Amino acid sequence: MSIAKLVPAWLHGVGDYGAGIALIVVALIVGGTDKAVLTGVVLGAVLLAVSVVTRYPLGAWKLVPSPVHSAGDYLGALLLILAPFVLDFTDSDGGLAAFYIVVGAVVLLLSLVTDYQDPRITVGETTHDRQEPALDGAGRRPASVRSRAGR
């Protein structure tokens, strides 16, 4: 996962969303060959989608645990760095190629220094878990909740 815990998970989330949006927007604004533009749009969209479902403070649906997200970051960073060479658009789209390599390096570095053990995230926590009402003294749900469930 991380080699140092310097960046809190919420700030990592800000970086994820920022990188995802930047990849899409820059690719569409700068333009270029289909391969170059599609690389930014697809990898940016995947980064945003994974961020939305990650179990960290900025995840909307906390489904993906941090270790899985972290592995995805490493894979995404590798893809960003290698894509210009593998898809052969370093000469035709040098600006986008350089941008993807830099964003890939930043994603890699951010992942290496993120503290994924955010105290606001508990093991097994989901959005549904946090919305469950407390039990009364007899170990039952409050009467108002029981009456809604029986409808």
pLDDT at 57: 83
Token pair belonging to 3:
């080699």
Question: 3-state SS of the chain?
Answer: CCCCCCEEHHHHHHHHHHHHHHHHHHHHHHCCCHHHHHHHHHHHHHHHHHHHCECCCCCCCCCECHHHHHHHHHHHHHHHHHHHHHCCCCCCCHHHHHHHHHHHHHHHHHHHCEECCCCCCCCCCCHHHHCCCCCCCCCCCCHHHHHHHCC
pLDDT at 48: 96
Compute mean pLDDT per 10 residues along the chain, 151 residues long, and list them: 82 93 98 96 96 88 89 95 97 96 96 79 47 57 52 48
Crossing angle for the helix pair 94-112 and 34-52, nearest 10 degrees?
20
1 neighbors 70 (Cβ within 8 angstroms): yes
pLDDT at 125: 47
pLDDT at 130: 45
What is the distance between the alpha carbons of residues 129 and 133, in angstroms, rounded to a whole number? 9
Indicate if the alpha-carbon torsion angle 82, 85, 88, 91 is positive or negative. positive
pLDDT at 21: 98
